[in-house]
Amino acid sequence: MSRIRVLVVDDSPLIREIIIKILEKDPEFSVVGQAEDGSEAVRLTQNIRPDLIIMDLYMPVMDGFQAIEKIMAYHPTPILVATTALAREGKSISFRALELGALEVIDKPVLSPGPGLSPKETDFLFLAKMLSRVKVISHLRGKLKRLPSEPPAEESRDADQFKIVAVAASTGGPKALLHILRGLPENLPAPIVVVQHISEGFSSGLASWLNHEAKLKVKEGAKGEELRPGTMYIAPTGFHMLVNSSRRIVFNSDPPLMSHRPAGTFLLKSVAECFGPRALGVILSGMGSDGAEGILEIKRRGGKTIAQAESDCVVFGMPKAAIELGAVDKVLPLDLIAGEIQKMLGEM
């Protein structure tokens, strides 16, 4: 018997983990995807065609109501809403979600300790199985209007032209970033997203300093912010910064990677997954190997990659790790990196 393929949608990594762990207690389920906002859920539903979607309602970028409407219009799929909003808002949100095409609205499940199933977990899994078998139909309502979060038609047509630069840096990174920024024009045809390992609370100061010195706009990244060409976004300390396919910034509070949060590898991998051959990865001076696996993923997916040469690195650890993985197209001194970024962007 084939397993029930589930897509789990919630902006909280912890809640996604809880739901997945409950589903994993029953061999009939297979979690085939995760999304942290409604826009990503719509895209994944189209790509992986799950048997069931378990979805929250209040999320950034596109909320659950909009996502339900969009999914049921174009890719009808059984949807189980799991939310904490029932206690606050009562039946009104249930009726709204059901009207849009969801099959049931429940409180978010709670994971019980140990391998066995609690009565509430048993009820949750039974409901999920029942709903996965429902033959749902298209809801025309979502086809009759364009959702507020949906980009205008002109933007949709040039979506494949969107390019992005992702940078990982550590010790010696701020000076290297400044050197590169001084060589880039203010109309650079791509945003730049950066993880720079820095002490807690200093990321906003770094962004302010670079913004004062550069032609490009430089700012600290904000949750849900849309990425715009000609702007550099510095990851704030304390969170992992990623991007999604809707060209927006996403934060999560997953554990540190190699003692780093934010971690360059997480950012670069998200850029690779969302933008593939339209991504350019750059590894600058730094201790350790953070970013190496991420820039390798960019190269695997057809993107272009650059590493700072040992000759002007304060610490050659991060570029060296990426080079040894075979993840780097060009190894360049700082004086040549800005020009190469512009050249590579022009070739995409």
pLDDT value at position 155? 39
Longest dimension (CA), the chain: 65
How far is the C-alpha of 193 from the C-alpha of 195, rounded, in Å?
7
Span between the terminal Cα atoms of the chain, in Å: 45
Q: Which residues are catalytic?
A: 170, 197, 290
Q: What are the domain boundaries of the chain? A: 4-143, 159-347
Same topology between domain 4-143 and domain 159-347 = yes
pLDDT value at position 136? 82
What CATH number was assigned to the domain covering residues 4-143?
3.40.50.2300
Per-residue pLDDT of the chain (348 residues; tens, 9 = 90+): 689 999 999 999 999 999 999 999 999 999 999 999 999 999 999 989 999 999 999 888 889 999 999 999 889 999 999 988 766 665 567 778 888 889 888 989 989 887 788 999 999 999 999 999 988 877 655 544 444 444 443 333 344 578 999 999 999 899 999 999 999 999 999 999 999 998 777 888 899 999 988 989 999 999 889 999 999 999 999 889 999 888 999 998 888 888 899 999 999 999 998 999 999 999 999 999 999 999 999 999 999 999 999 999 989 999 999 999 999 999 999 999 999 999 999 998
How far is the C-alpha of 96 from the C-alpha of 280, rounded, in Å?
42
What CATH number was assigned to the domain covering residues 159-347?
3.40.50.180
| Count of other CB atoms within 10 angstroms of residue 209 | 15
pLDDT value at position 198? 87
pLDDT value at position 87? 62
